[in-house]
Structures are given as C-alpha cells and as structure tokens.
A and B are shown apart, each in its own frame.
Chain A
C-alpha cells in the first residue's frame, strides 16, 4: 500500500519501500492506496461501520474483502456468470450486492460469508443491475440501467420490479435520512423520487438539459446531490422548496461520475477527465482535487464512514482511502 499526506492538489512525496509520506499540514488529508488482485476492475466500494473491512465488487464475479490494517484481501465467489456492480452495507451489517451478471440481488453474510441470491423475475430480462439503497423499512431498492427499478423485502422475499417512467437510464440511488428513496437516470437526465408504498416514480428535472445525472447522494438535510456526467456539473436539489443549485467542476471538460456526501456534509465527487477525486465544500463553494498517482484510475464510486472516504480505482485495481488528519 502507498500512503500520502497531502493538503492540495499536487502531492510531493518522499517515498520509502511500500509507502510514500508527506509532512502533514494542519488541514492534512491522508491518502492511502491498497493494491488489489489484478484484473478484478473494482467497481464499487463500501466500508463497514467499524472500519475493519472494506468491500469492493470484483467485476468478474466476486465479493472482495480488504483488511485495511494488513492489506490482505479475500474474494468470495458469488456464482456462475456473476458480474457485480454495486455493494453497500445493509442495516443488518451484511454486504448487499447488485449483480448484473446473475441479474440478482446478492447478500454475503459478513460473519459466515454465506452467499444468498435473489434473482429478478425472468420476464424482465437482464436489466443491468446497478446500485442499491435501503429504505427505513428494511427493504432494499435497486436500479436497472436498461430502464427498471425495483424493491426486495428480505424479510418476506417479496420482490417487485417497475419499468422506469422514461425507460433506460436508472443508475445511482440513495436514501435520505428520513428513508425516502431517490434515483438518478443517466440516459434520462433526471432524478426521481420513489413512492415507498406504490412504487411510482416522480421525475424531477435538473436545470441543465441533457446533463446525464449519474449518481445521487443525500446530505444530512435530505438534499439530493447529483453528479452530472455529460455536463460535468455537481448539482443539489432541495425537495423542501424545489430549489436547485449547480456548480461546474474544475477543468476544461470535467466528467463527474460519482458523488458521495460525508458526515460533515462535504461533497465528494470523482472526475474522469481530471483522473481525480474532488471534494466540494458547499459552505465556501470551493473544490479541492486529489488526483490519482496512476493514469486512468477511473474511480466509479465512493462511500465512507466518519473520518474516511473510500473509492474504487477500477482502472488501477486499487482502493483508495482519504482520511482527515491534523
């Protein structure tokens, strides 16, 4: 693993074997990289509440488990034809995975590593399962990029799938602190709120046309932050008053892939054009960039716990963590 202490965009590292270190300024961020088994193309990442395990989706059919203390990794096979996209930590502490290859929701028991698979109804065909989020009632909601979203109640095994109102596109999904579920439609360039009882989706249009709303995340106030792939913007929608605000990421032609909001309501984004993780402070409206030290890192998603945010470098077969220091 490699470790950096950086304050701004351009780290200057003094390196020893296996680790690189910078003097830590007062507002330092510790950046550390973890090498993963090659060829897995880590797509999404999640960290357990106790920080003892970090999970990533091995795009060729596995649930990756990293011990961040030792750097050791284990891969749990998920089944024939598996190609997982997203992974989250469920309210039960287990890993919940959206597996496009198996066209199924998959749970991996954290303690026993037992794998359980809930296939989607066969009549839907492959929906390109994308991401998932739990509502406040213990049910997991998921998106299928070919134009679907759905819900599984693990307590009863009841699964329902709905056609998205404008077809293809449902990608990122998030739960607000009150348990509401919203998803973003990449091809449809909108966000939508899902009625938890009826499953009906209500579309809300961001102000920028054809913006490519890719991922979505809620802050502590229930405001929805959206990473816009086509426009290179980050935008925020407040459902309480219907308002929107939009900011362009730094650079000439940014491509905002993912968004995550930490416990301090700082907004973390990934920009493929800059090959960087970008942090946005909504109070100062300032961006801070954390470029990867490898080309084409392609961080497709971030997730964290208090004090640290994790990203999966799909193009570099690494995980990256940024921890607050100083």
Chain B
C-alpha cells in the first residue's frame, strides 16, 4: 500500500524532448506528409532519400522539378542539403520556396528522413 501511495505521488517521468529532426520536420509538415496524400499541396517525403526528383507520378510537380528529375537529379543527403538551403538555386522555377532554418536543422531533418524509407 505504501508503495502504491509513493507511486501515485511520484512526479510523472519527464517527457523526452522531440528529436531535432522531428522538430525540424515541423517546417516541412506544413505542406508535406510522409505518405502520399491527395489533399497535400506537396509530395510525400517517406522514402525521399534515393528517389529521383519529380518521380511521384500522382503528384502535380512543377515542370522545373520534373525536368530536373529527367536530367538525373536524385535526392540524397548532399542534394537535399543544397535544395533546402536554396531551392531556386538547385531547381530554378521550383514551386517550393525557401523555408529558413539553420544548417544544423537541415542536417537533422535529412537524417530523420533517411530513416523513414
């Protein structure tokens, strides 16, 4: 009984802070989901690492993004880092604007996405 009382009065275990990648993904999640969702204004990002740019058939990409894919742009850690740092520089004419965030945030979200294939 005493133990039960102690357990009942004990403060709750502190909640783990969201990992930096998940927190950084909050910026992306304004438009992107991990899965394809016809209601989303942007393509799903599950499995984006290793995927050719503009390759989700069901999504209405910009002509610029589809052309970039045809030219051989594939999303890996390096290309995603450059794209997130300056989307227009990597894919001129892309619909996606710059979203801000530090280099550390970009690295965190790329690593987080890498684990969600």
Contacts and interface: CB of A to CB of B under 8 A. Distances in A.
Contacts of A85: 97
Nearest to A100: B100
A126 B20 CA distance: 12
How many interface residues does chain B have, given as a range?
A: 20 to 34
A126 B105 CA distance: 12
A60 B40 contact: no
A136 interface: no
Given A39-B86, A187-B41, A230-B41, A145 B30 contact: yes
Contacts of A311: none
B47 interface: no
A136 B16 CA distance: 43
Contact of B31 (A81, A187, A253): A187
Contacts of B55: none
Contacts of A189: 39
B34 interface: no
A294 to B, nearest CB: 10
A168 interface: yes
Contact of A298 (B26, B38, B86, B95): B95
A8 B8 CA distance: 75
B98 A210 contact: no
B27 interface: yes
A128 B60 contact: no
Given A41-B98, A126-B23, A145-B31, 18 more contacts: A39-B86, A41-B88, A41-B97, A60-B98, A83-B98, A83-B101, A101-B101, A126-B26, A146-B26, A187-B40, A210-B38, A229-B41, A230-B41, A255-B95, A296-B62, A296-B64, A298-B95, A315-B88
Contact of B60 (A101, A125, A253): A253
B99 A298 contact: no
B98 A81 contact: no
Contacts of A59: 97-98, 100
B100 A83 contact: yes
A203 to B, nearest CB: 15
25 contacts: A39-B86, A39-B89, A41-B88, A59-B97, A81-B101, A83-B98, A101-B101, A125-B23, A128-B26, A128-B30, A145-B31, A146-B29, A147-B30, A168-B29, A168-B30, A187-B30, A189-B39, A214-B41, A255-B95, A272-B95, A295-B93, A296-B64, A296-B94, A298-B93, A315-B94
Contacts of B88: 41, 314-315
A150 interface: no
A196 to B, nearest CB: 25
A295 B88 CA distance: 12
B60 to A, nearest CB: 7
Residue in B41, B94, B102 with the greatest tally of chain A CB atoms within 10 Å:
B41
Contacts of A230: 41
Interface string B74-106: 000000000000101100111101111110000
A45 to B, nearest CB: 14
Interface in A221-252: 229-230
Contacts of B92: 295-296, 315
Given A187-B40, A253-B60, A100 B93 contact: no
Contacts of B31: 145, 168, 186-187
